[in-house]
Amino acid sequence: MKRPAAIDWDGHKKVNLALQGGGAHGAFTWGVLDRILEDGRLDIEAMTGTSAGAMNAVVMCEGYLEGDREGARKKLADFWKSVSSESALSPIQRQAFDTLFKGWNLQQTPAYWWLDMLTHYASPYEFNPLNINPLRDHLSRMVDFEKVRACDAIKLFIAATNVHTGKISVFERQHLTADHVMASACLPFLFQAVEIDGVPHWDGGYMGNPALFPLFYKSACPDIVIVQVNPISRETTPRTARDIQDRINEISFNGALMGELRSIDFVNRLVDEGKLSRERYMRPIMHRIAGGRELMDFGASSKMDTSWPFLTQLRDIGRAAATQWLDANYDKIGVESTLDTRLAFA
């Protein structure tokens, strides 16, 4: 496949977005999207998302259909505000000491301890036999999936993990319902598997966080911008049981992405060496927007903190990261990768 022009008839550059999941840290992605939409120089051809990334993607699609870029920005803000409002009565809240010193650690809350212990000794089929899930109810109220399915301006792909086969399932925009998004966000220790056409699914992060390959086959745009929430590397060795488990989860939820980056690097080298034809194979141009040290410093428990001050702080970090990335790399979009894929997985 020939590489298409990177600039459309409006003079805007085209990109695909790949949105990671990460609980409340998805508000970082909200900030990134908000800044990209506000900037106005990038047209989004396709999005692939997992878990919180999937929620951001469907909300943005609905808002885009209702009011173009500004409609998408408003819908994202309304969605995250409602997430905060819904969780205001949650027993898992920061302690006074953490609030006083602006920490975002929930590990010291009794409710968090209780939930952590419960999920180690009981399954969601045991402690929630009626499968009550307020998050699904909230998503159904906030997102009009008929509008999402009608938003043909942006291709959309949502990833989940097939429990029976262990393989990835990718759902496209024209088929999406609240169940598909909840399947993508279904952590098996907290929620019962979500059935899609009779097949149980768990969180898509196990097999694609986010899945990049749909963009190779279903989008003509070579530029892929990964919005990364989960850090790949850390400089310290975890020593407590909780920290060890959190690091294992980070590694697991980045595993599929690392594998895809390795494959991209391999194919790109074959194209560059002339072993694969540029006429037949698209050479992906890779980019990444990440939260860096600021996002890395938040503990894994903060992914359950949906207080409005925390969400807006994450949004602001995302906006700043997107601004920095646009300023440094806009001219390279459509020309060269700004993410060293080999360094990313080496």
The pLDDT tens digits for 189-219 are: 889 999 999 999 999 999 998 999 999 989 9
Q: How confident is the model at residue 127 (pLDDT cuts 50, 70, 90)?
A: confident
Rounded Cα distance, 125 and 318, in Å: 36
Beta strands in 22-141 (DSSP E): 42-49
Whether the upstream peptide bond of residue 210 has omega within 30° of 0, thus cis, is: yes
Mean pLDDT of 271-276: 88
- pLDDT the model gives residue 215: 95
Identify whether the C-beta of residue 38 lies closer than 8 Å to the C-beta of residue 325: no
Q: How confident is the model at residue 9 (pLDDT cuts 50, 70, 90)?
A: very low
Amino acid at 198: G
Q: Evaluate if residue 169 carries a pLDDT over 90.
A: yes
The pLDDT tens digits for 15-73 are: 999 999 989 999 999 999 999 999 999 999 999 999 999 999 999 999 999 999 999 99
Mean pLDDT of 103-113: 52
Rounded Cα distance, 102 and 90, in Å: 19
- pLDDT the model gives residue 272: 87
- pLDDT the model gives residue 96: 36
Q: How confident is the model at residue 91 (pLDDT cuts 50, 70, 90)?
A: very low
Identify whether the C-beta of residue 126 lies closer than 8 Å to the C-beta of residue 16: no
The pLDDT tens digits for 245-262 are: 888 888 888 888 989 999
255 class by beta-carbon count within 10 Å (0-12 exposed, 13-18 middle, 19+ buried): middle
With pLDDT > 90 as the criterion, what percentage of the chain qualifies?
56
Q: How confident is the model at residue 1 (pLDDT cuts 50, 70, 90)?
A: very low
The pLDDT tens digits for 275-300 are: 888 888 888 999 999 988 888 888 77
Rounded Cα distance, 20 and 15, in Å: 16
- pLDDT the model gives residue 158: 97
* Verdict on whether the full-model pTM lies above 0.75: yes
- pLDDT the model gives residue 242: 76
Beta pairing class for 155-162 and 42-49: parallel
